[in-house]
Amino acid sequence: MVVSQASVLNEYKTRTPSTESSPGHFSADEQRRLAKLWQQLLQYLDENKQTSIRVTNELLQRGIHDWSTLQASDYPNPETDADQEALTRSAWEQFTKGDTGLRRMSLFTRKQSLTHEQLVLDRYVSETVWQHIDRMAGRHVSLLPDSYFPSFAHRDANTRNVRDVFWATVSVKCHPDIWVHRYLRASGWDVGKALAMIKSVIEWRAEEAVDRVNYEGDVGLGLDEMRLGMSQLVGKDRLGHPLMYVRVRRIMPRAAEGFAFKRYLVAQFDALQNVNRGNQRITMLYDFTGFTMDNTPLAMVQFMVSLGLRPYAEASSVLILLVDSWLFSNLWSLVRPFLDVNLGARIIFAKDISNVRVFVDDDQLPVELGGKNTFAAKYVLPEESENKKMFDMDGRRKAEDCWRERIAEFEKSTRKWADMVVDATDADAVDPELASTVRRTDAARDLGAAELELRKFVRSKNIFERLGMVDSNGSLQLPE
């Protein structure tokens, strides 16, 4: 199925989300393609039961700056630190202390021309949340266990098991079909292409140790990246999808290592996917007003686009780019060739707020953009006891054993279902009451419940859980 921008616009104008080619609304042909993809996926997983992929660790790199010499009073407060002259002088002092491993003296001339907001963002952007909490407490705070291992069945932290990566990824959804079918849509329902895409995503998640990014959550991210609201959940779009607002002017990846910004993006994308368990999409509003190349150099724009192409394919409803910069328009011409047809149809250029209002009502549009919405998921620091279950190894082992049992049950029911669907009549292929389909639906529900229990031991709490926005079923609940 090829999506056109006209069809996307019509959904928002009529406030009627399309259900075409989505779980529960597949045609007989689409159901058969899904079944064939599962047959090939299960064969691939069977052939790679013992296959491990080495972690390359780009997202898990650490800055080498020693924060132990800083005092609480050294840290800038963007809300009260209004003395630009003092801030510029402090920046010079920071640069003349020597090589911090994070900055370079040659950048000071660029700093002299930055705005006050950019200077604040540029000072200590690489201090992580955990480093900040330790420094403020004057001791090491036990937010997470000191040692990490992927699972009891695979304890080597330097590699990842292919099967484990796949099932850990798909079981965060209410039904694994929700995740798998997105690659069929992204590939134009070409089973071979969809399988290749899924394999590449599994390899990417293994190589980048995305499971550990989830394990550490925001405690391993930059404090200012979280606290200053570079991206915030602010409400819903006109179709009810979660609305993420990204203030591009607050992104200063050149002030820190590139991997730190990439880790921030992946952590944010995955946190949303983990609490968005149904087939609901996410709308991204990128505010490029005041955009400069200091905010998002080409490599970072390409990385953001690549996330939507494969790792999180078909996860977005629309990506709204609010642009007032000819510079970004020129930059975008270099990125556009990398887009596929479906993703391109969901990218909307908004010259002003009136264009944004086609997709977002005033009561959900942030006040700073001329709307009436004062809500934003403002950052709250983690507390020492909030991840206490992650220290319970007996509980984790029990939850993992149950999860693996549920995987085996789902695999068994899926094999029988797929064999039936491939040769079934059109009516039987899409009949939700067919015995094999009912058994598979029940197995998917049990697998989802097992993952909900296991995540308490292997994923640290995220900002949405901290704010009480996640219900007992692990699903995001947006304020009315």
| Comparison of pLDDT for 385 and 339, the residue scoring more | 385
* Beta strand residue intervals within 261-414, DSSP E: 282-287, 316-322, 347-350
476 DSSP assignment: B
Mean pLDDT, to the nearest integer, of 200-218?
95
Mean pLDDT of 302-322: 82
Q: Are 31 and 184 in contact (CB under 8 A)?
A: no
DSSP conformational letter for 367: G
Which DSSP symbol is given to 422? H
Q: How many angstroms separate the CA atoms of 310 and 239, rounded?
A: 24
Report the C-alpha gap between 403 and 171 in whole angstroms.
Answer: 9
| pLDDT tens-place string over residues 371-380 | 999 887 788 9
Quote the pLDDT of residue 84: 41
With 60 as the cut, is the pLDDT of residue 73 above it? no
pLDDT at 58: 72
Q: How far apart are CA 200 and CA 189, in angstroms?
A: 17
Share of the chain above pLDDT 90, in %: 56
Is 70 exceeded by the pLDDT of residue 69? Answer: no
* Residue 286 reports pLDDT greater than 80: yes
- Measure the CA–CA gap between 213 and 327, rounded to whole angstroms: 33
Return the higher-pLDDT residue of 372 and 253: 372
Q: What average pLDDT score do residues 80-107 get?
A: 35
pLDDT band at 93 (very low <50, low <70, confident <90, very high): very low
* CA R_g for the chain: 23
Over residues 327-333, the mean pLDDT reads 63
Query: What are the backbone angles phi and psi of residue 24, rounded to the nearest 5°?
Result: 90, -10
Summary mean pLDDT of the chain? 82
- Residue 328 pLDDT class (50, 70, 90 cuts): low
User: Of 42, 268, 326, nearest to 170 (Cα)?
Assistant: 42
Q: How far is CA 227 from CA 116, 121, 377, 378, 409, in A?
A: 17, 10, 10, 7, 43
- Residue 201: name the closest of 70, 408, 44, 72 by CA: 44
- Beta strand 231-236 pairing with 52-54: unpaired
Strand pairing class (242-247; 316-322):
unpaired
User: Which position has the higher pLDDT, 314 or 336?
Assistant: 314
Q: What are phi and psi of 221, to 5 degrees?
A: -95, 165
pLDDT at 297: 58
Distance CA 464, CA 450 (A): 21
Residues whose CB is less than 8 angstroms from the CB of residue 186 and which lie 6 or more positions away in sequence, other chains included: 194, 197, 309, 313, 314, 340, 342, 343
Euclidean distance between CA atoms 458 and 289, whole angstroms: 39
Q: 21-45, pLDDT tens digit by residue?
A: 889 999 999 999 999 999 999 999 9
Predicted pLDDT of residue 79:
47
Q: How far apart are the first and last CA of the chain?
A: 33
- Tell me what the mean pLDDT of segment 1-21 comes to: 88
DSSP annotation of 39 reads H
**Residue 61, phi then psi, degrees to nearest 5:** -60, 155
Mean pLDDT (whole number) for 130-152 = 91
Q: Is the pLDDT of residue 413 over 90?
A: yes
Binned at pLDDT 50, 70 and 90, residue 338 comes out as: low
User: How confident is the model at residue 135, as a pLDDT?
Assistant: 82
Instruction: Round to whole Å and give the CA distance between 210 and 312.
Output: 13
pLDDT of residue 403: 98
Query: What is the rounded distance in angstroms from the CA atom of residue 185 to the CA atom of residue 93?
Result: 54
Closest C-alpha to 257, from 116, 104, 89: 104
- The confidence score (pLDDT) of residue 88 equals 38
User: Residue 78: pLDDT above 70?
Assistant: no
CB atoms within 10 A of CB 416: 14
Q: What is the pLDDT of residue 81?
A: 45
Triad 323, 254, 128: Cα angle to 5°: 110
Closest CA to 457 of 377, 410, 391: 391
Confidence category of residue 251, pLDDT binned at 50, 70, 90: low
- Residue that has been written with the tokens 């220290």 in this structure: 391
Residue 108 has pLDDT above 60, yes or no: no
What is the structure's pLDDT at 324? 75
Nearest CA to 335 out of 306, 370, 358, 360 is that of 306
Q: Say if CB 35 and CB 193 are below 8 A apart.
A: no
Q: Which residues pair with 66 in a beta bridge?
A: none
- Residue 90: its pLDDT value, please? 39
Cβ atoms < 10 Å from Cβ of 237: 26
158-162, 223-227, 337-341, 435-439 — which is least confidently predicted? 337-341
Q: Using an 8 Å Cβ cutoff, are 428 and 377 in contact?
A: no
Q: Report pLDDT for 301.
A: 66
pLDDT, tens only, 343-372: 778 888 888 999 999 999 999 999 989 999
Among the residue ranges 213-222, 229-238, 303-312, 358-367, the one predicted with the least confidence is 303-312
Range from 94-98, 287-291, 298-302 that averages highest in pLDDT: 287-291
Q: pLDDT band for 183, please (50, 70, 90 cuts).
A: very high
CB 402 within 8 A of CB 450: yes
pLDDT tier for residue 153 given thresholds of 50, 70 and 90: very high
pLDDT at 46 over 60: yes
pLDDT band at 162 (very low <50, low <70, confident <90, very high): very high
Over 80: is that where the pLDDT of 292 sits? no
**Whole-angstrom Cα distance, residue 468 to residue 351?**
35
Check pLDDT > 90 for residue 57.
no
- Could you write out the DSSP letters of every residue in 103-132? --GGGHHHHTTS-HHHHHHHHSTT-BHHHH
For residue 195, give the 3-state DSSP assignment. helix
218: pLDDT strictly greater than 50: yes
